């Protein structure tokens, strides 16, 4: 039966005819050795190469299969995404009142400020403060009656209460920090104003936090 090797053997026989009576098996062996020498100079994929390629592909595939669950675990779960942002209906909060809502497991004050509270906050814009900020920088344009702040004292995280102290804003009962009606720190150990969450108005009566 004729094989590819024997085909090459026959083709090269045209360049180098065997002597009369020489052994055909010897010719095959000699040309096979020559082919091997030729392959050394110009390597081509052989069976071992394919095995290596398959092994590499399998390794990469296995690594990807392991990596995907790890990457997937880094993506927030659907319920976490749902809690990442919340919408709140402001019409529930009467003028001069506030509610505390939960966002990402932390309390948030939603305060409906009176004109007097707003005026008092603006009047102190240039007063000496630890964490200077204008009242306008702490509310959304056109919605200055709404003050939305994280309800955690910036000292050690207690929840302040509204209506105490000389600035008409919040008093932290833990160590006596005082915040004004813009929730700016005015006295006591707290170093910063109450933090503002990332939020926006979806309408005049609805906000989205987060």
Residues that bind ligand FES (CB under 6 A): 153, 155-158, 172, 174-175, 177, 188-190
d(CA 68, CA 61): 11
CB nearer to ligand FES: pick between 121 and 153: 153
CB nearer to ligand FES: pick between 155 and 186: 155
CB nearer to ligand FES: pick between 86 and 129: 129
In the complex, what is the shortest distance from the CB of residue 86 to ligand FES, in angstroms, rounded to a whole number? 25
Q: Are 177 and 155 in contact (CB under 8 A)?
A: yes
Backbone angles phi, psi at 47, to 5 degrees: -60, -40
Q: Which of 41, 112, 143, 175 is catalytic?
A: 175
Whether 175 is catalytic: yes
Backbone angles phi, psi at 194, to 5 degrees: -60, 135
Query: Residue 188: which region, alpha, beta or left (left: phi > 0; alpha: psi -120 to 50)?
Result: left
Other beta carbons within 10 angstroms of residue 198's beta carbon come to 10
In the complex, what is the shortest distance from the CB of residue 176 to ligand FES, in angstroms, rounded to a whole number? 6
In the complex, what is the shortest distance from the CB of residue 109 to ligand FES, in angstroms, rounded to a whole number? 14
Catalytic residue numbers read 175
């Amino acid at each position: 039966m004729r094989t590819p090797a024997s085909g090459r053997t026959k083709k090269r026989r045209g360049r180098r005819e065997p002597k009369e009576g020489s052994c055909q098996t010897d010719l095959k062996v000699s040309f096979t050795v020559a082919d091997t020498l030729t392959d050394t100079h110009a390597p081509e994929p052989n069976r071992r190469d394919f095995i290596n390629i398959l092994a590499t592909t399998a390794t990469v595939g296995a690594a990807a299969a392991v990596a995907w669950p790890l990457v997937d675990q880094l993506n927030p779960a659907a319920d976490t995404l749902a809690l990442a942002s919340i919408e709140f209906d402001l019409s529930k909060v009467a003028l001069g009142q506030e509610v505390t809502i939960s966002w990402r497991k932390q309390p948030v004050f939603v305060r409906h400020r009176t004109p007097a509270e707003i005026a008092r906050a603006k009047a102190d814009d240039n007063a000496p403060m630890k964490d200077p900020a204008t009242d306008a920088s702490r509310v959304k344009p056109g919605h200055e009656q709404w003050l939305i702040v994280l309800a955690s004292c910036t000292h050690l995280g207690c929840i302040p209460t509204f209506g105490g102290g000389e600035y008409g804003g919040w008093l932290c009962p833990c160590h006596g920090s005082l915040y004004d009606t813009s929730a700016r720190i005015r006295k006591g150990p707290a170093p910063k104003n109450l933090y503002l969450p990332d939020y926006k108005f979806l309408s005049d009566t609805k906000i989205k936090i987060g």
